[in-house]
Amino acid sequence: MRVRAFAKINLSLRVLGMRADGYHELRTIFQSIALHDTLTIRASRGPFRLTCDDPACPADETNLIWRAAARMWAKAGRRGAPRGVAIDLAKRIPMQAGLGGGSSDAAAALRALAQRWRVGEAHVRDTAAALGADVPYFLEGGTVLGLERGDLLFPLIDVPAAWVVLVLPHFGVSTQDAFEWLDAFGVARGGDVPQEFLNDLEAPVVARHPGIGRIISALRREGASQAAMSGSGSAVFGLFSHRPDAVRAANRLSSAARRTLVTRTLNRQKYHRLAAT
C-alpha cells in the first residue's frame, strides 16, 4: 500500500498570545500543496521497521511515523512494540522548512495503519492531536482555519487554485526556536493588527535570517500576489495565477544558496483523492 503525504503552507499565521500549556494561541490558515512524501507500507516479519531514502531524516523511534505506529498499535489493543509492518519513506518535503512534512508523514501513517490494524476514526483523531499541533490538519486537507494550538479546525471554502513557488534556503529553522524568538521580540502582537494575511513569526525569524526577508521582497517584485514565510520557515512561498510566471520567478530566484520549486495548491477533494496512490 502506498500513501502520499502532502505538504502545507500557512496562508496566514497570527500568534494571539501565550497559553497556559506553554504553547501559543494561533489563528492560522493552512493550505495543502501538491508537493508530497510517499509512504510505502508492507507486511514484514518481526519488529516494525522504518527506512527513509534521505540520510538526513531520522528513521528511528524519534520519527513521528514511528511514534504514530506505536500509538496505533496500542490503540488496536496490542501489547508491546509494533510488529509485522515495514514503512519506506520517500522524503521530498524539505525538513525544518515550515511545510509540515513530519506532521503530514505522521498523519498518513495514522490513516494507513488504522485501516490495517482496524482502529476507529475517533482514536485516529486523538492520536493525531497528541503527536503534534499540525498533525490533525493533515487528516483534513485543503483550506482550513486552525485555532488554539492550530489544532481546533474549521474547514473553509477552498481558495482559488494557484501556482506556488517555494524558495528553500539551504538551512532549516526549528519551530520551537522560532516561537522563542517571537517571545523575545516582545509581546505577541497578532490580535491588534486587522490584517488577514500575515505571518507573525516572520519578523523574528527574518531578524536572525535576513535572507528570508530578501526572498519575500524578491517574490513580490516577480509579481507574486502573495509572498510570505510558511509556518516557522525557512521556506518562503509566492502565489501566482499563471504557471509561466511562476516558472520564471522560480528560475530567477534559484541560486547557490537556495533551491526553488514550482507546485500548486490542492483543494480538499483532490487532497483526499490523491492521498491513496
Rounded-to-integer distance, Cα 204 and Cα 218, Å: 19
CB atoms within 10 A of CB 66: 21
In the bound state with ligand C5P, the residue whose beta carbon lies nearer, of 141 and 150, is 150
What is the H or E stretch that residue 113 is in? Answer: helix 101-117
Nearest approach in angstroms of CB 24 to ligand C5P is 4
Please name the residues in contact with 148: beta carbons below 8 A apart, sequence gap of 6 or more: 19, 25, 26
Active site residues: 8, 134
Nearer to ligand C5P, 101 or 238 (CB): 101
CA dist 94 and 184 (Å) reads: 27
For ligand C5P, the closer of residues 26 and 168 by Cβ is 26
Q: What are the DSSP E strand ranges found in the chain?
A: 2-18, 24-47, 49-52, 83-90, 143-148, 152-155, 163-169, 226-229, 236-240, 258-264
Rounded to the nearest whole angstrom, what is the least distance from the CB of residue 230 to ligand C5P in the complex?
14
CB-nearer residue toward ligand C5P: 39 or 106 = 106
Q: What residue ranges bind ligand C5P (CB under 6 A)?
A: 23-24, 26, 132-134, 149-150, 175-176, 179
